């Protein structure tokens, strides 16, 4: 897979901000990429002093301090990671500036929290807004840099967004392990239990679903042109957030790479605020990958069009019917699931 060629890292000189610079420097060294270090002075934060002094005194002073600090950081990472970087101090709106600067980068690296001594860019709200709106992959750093990433977890939902996440995760690999993961909706099994489907049928249904999902994950990786030999695959039943965090802890992952839908938070497998919940609950760094520019979210009408048989994921009714057929004749309980448009109702 191709390497990154240009990295942008923003820091406010906080602990997380400086960890972001070090991680970006290590990645730049591994990929032979250009590294640009940015610090943004929020002009709105200088207004109180402007009311009392010359309009430029406070801004000029802070800009000079920031440039000196960035030069020290550049010298440090040059010696530690054998990488040459460019530095820049910009006065303006943090999010707008970061969005503009990111257009020239393959990857944006940010610290999770801010509150640096120069009160610059990386307050939490700016990072969260950047994650929602950026059209570039954003790597959020929350751990000190000790070594290259060793175990990368990639949760997928078989959409274009998760395809993009797999591709970027492959680019992140540097003598590291990549683990593709999918969480299966456990509500299907609950439906079977609510309608008194025998336990052995439920077990066989689960085995069929697991085998089908594993095969589908491998086909997905192969179609993206990746060698699946060094990649491991895993799945789990349960809610997305809990499943991802449990798998990351079990794996000892030091990076989670996840896709997002459009210009919003991670969608599909990672719906609504799941990405922020994973980010806040995880103990490792997280890379959010946007949907490719040439891909657009499916329209509502497209849900009426069936997928190709090779990619279709059987629903609970189909799985129950197949498992029952394998075990023997259909019982009345199994017939319920084979009947179109019938939804079981829980009685009180």
Name the helix (H) or strand (E) containing 24. helix 15-31
Report d(CA 158, CA 214) in Å as an integer.
Answer: 12
Regarding whether 162 and 274 lie in a shared domain, the answer is yes
Give the pairing type, strands 285-289 and 138-141: antiparallel
Report CA-CA distances (Å) from 180 to 147, 166, 169, 214, 319. Answer: 22, 8, 10, 10, 24
Q: Is residue 301 part of a domain?
A: no
Q: Which of 87, 113, 141 is the last residue of a domain?
A: 141
Same domain? 132 vs 224? no
| Whole-angstrom distance, CA of residue 344 vs CA of residue 337 | 9
Q: Give the domain-ending residue among 141, 169, 192.
A: 141
CA distance 102 to 150: 26
301 secondary structure, DSSP code: G
CATH of the domain at 94: 3.40.50.620
Contact predicate 217/234, CB 8 Å: no
Q: Are residues 156 and 48 in the same domain?
A: no
Mean pLDDT over each residue of the chain, to the nearest integer? 78
Contacts 24+ apart (CB under 8 A), 260-264: 260/131, 260/161, 260/288, 260/289, 260/290, 260/291, 261/159, 261/161, 261/291, 261/297, 262/290, 262/291, 262/296, 262/297, 263/132, 263/133, 263/135, 263/290, 264/132
* Within a domain: 210: yes
Does one domain contain both 254 and 235? yes
Residue owning tokens 């509500």: 187
171 part of a folded domain: yes
Burial class (CB in 10 A: 0-12, 13-18, 19+), 128: middle
- 28 and 56 in a single domain? The answer is yes
Confidence of residue 315 (pLDDT cuts 50, 70, 90): low
Q: 252 and 117 share a domain?
A: no
Tell which of 141, 172, 199 closes a domain. Answer: 141
Q: Is residue 347 part of a domain?
A: no
Number of structural domains in the chain: 2
- What pLDDT is recorded for position 1? 57
Q: Out of 76-85, 89-98, 251-260, 319-328, which region has the weakest mean confidence (pLDDT)?
A: 319-328
**228/316: higher pLDDT:** 228
- Residue pair 265/278 in contact (Cβ under 8 Å)? The answer is no
Let me know if residue 321 belongs to a domain. Answer: yes
Left if phi > 0, otherwise alpha if psi is -120 to 50, otherwise beta: which for 115? left
Q: What is the pLDDT of residues 119-172, one digit of tens each?
A: 444 445 778 888 888 889 999 999 999 899 999 999 998 988 899 999 999 988
Q: Do 135 and 178 belong to one domain?
A: no
- Residue 16 covered by a domain: yes
Angstrom distance (rounded) from CA 271 to CA 291: 14
Instruction: Report angle CA 213, 215, 221 to the nearest 5 degrees.
Output: 105
DSSP string spanning 265-282? S--TTS-TTHHHHHHHH-
Q: Are residues 119 and 179 in the same domain?
A: no
Residue 306 within any structural domain of the chain: no
Q: Do 74 and 117 fall within a single domain? A: yes
In a domain, 196, yes or no: yes
Do 186 and 57 belong to one domain?
no
Tens-digit pLDDT profile for residues 165-206? 999 999 887 667 899 999 988 777 777 778 888 888 888 888
Torsion of CA 152, 31, 6, 153, to 10 degrees: 0
Average pLDDT (305-323) is 47
Same domain, 60 and 199: no
pLDDT for res 322 = 54
Per-residue pLDDT tens for 40-86?
988 765 555 445 445 556 788 888 999 999 999 999 999 999 999 99
Domain extent at residue 201: 151-294+311-338
Residues 46, 98: one domain? yes
Q: Count, in order, helices (H) and strands (E) of the chain.
A: 12, 10
């Amino acid at each position: 897979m191709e390497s990154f060629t240009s990295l942008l890292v923003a820091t406010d000189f906080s602990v997380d901000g400086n960890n972001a610079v070090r991680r970006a420097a290590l990645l730049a060294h591994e990929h032979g990429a250009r590294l640009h270090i940015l610090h943004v002075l929020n002009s709105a934060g200088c207004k109180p002093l402007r009311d009392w002094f010359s309009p430029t005194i406070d801004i000029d002073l802070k800009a000079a301090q920031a440039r000196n600090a960035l030069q020290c950081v550049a010298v440090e990472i040059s010696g530690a990671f054998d990488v040459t970087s460019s530095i820049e101090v910009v006065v303006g709106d943090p999010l707008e500036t970061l969005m503009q600067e990111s257009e020239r980068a393959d990857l944006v690296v940010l610290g999770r929290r801010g509150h640096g001594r120069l009160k610059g860019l990386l307050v939490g709200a700016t990072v969260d807004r950047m994650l929602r709106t950026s059209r570039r992959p954003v790597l959020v750093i929350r751990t000190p840099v000790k070594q290259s990433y060793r175990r990368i977890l990639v949760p997928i939902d078989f959409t274009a967004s998760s395809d993009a996440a797999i591709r970027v995760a492959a680019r992140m690999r540097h003598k590291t392990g990549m683990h593709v993961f999918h969480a299966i909706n456990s509500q299907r099994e609950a439906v079977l239990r609510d309608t008194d489907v025998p336990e052995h049928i439920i077990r066989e249904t689960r085995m069929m679903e697991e085998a089908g999902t594993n095969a589908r994950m491998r086909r997905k990786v192969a179609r993206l042109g990746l060698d699946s030999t060094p990649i491991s695959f895993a799945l789990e039943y349960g809610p997305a957030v809990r499943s991802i965090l449990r798998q990351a802890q079990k794996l000892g992952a030091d990076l989670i790479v996840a896709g997002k839908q459009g210009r919003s938070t991670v969608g599909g497998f990672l719906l609504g605020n799941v990405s922020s919940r994973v980010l806040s609950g995880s103990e490792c760094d997280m890379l959010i990958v946007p949907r490719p520019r040439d891909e657009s979210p499916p329209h509502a009408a497209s849900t009426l069009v069936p997928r190709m048989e090779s990619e279709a994921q059987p629903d609970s009714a189909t799985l129950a019917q197949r498992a029952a057929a394998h075990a023997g004749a259909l019982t009345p309980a199994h017939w319920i699931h084979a009947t179109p448009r019938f939804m079981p109702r829980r009685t009180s």
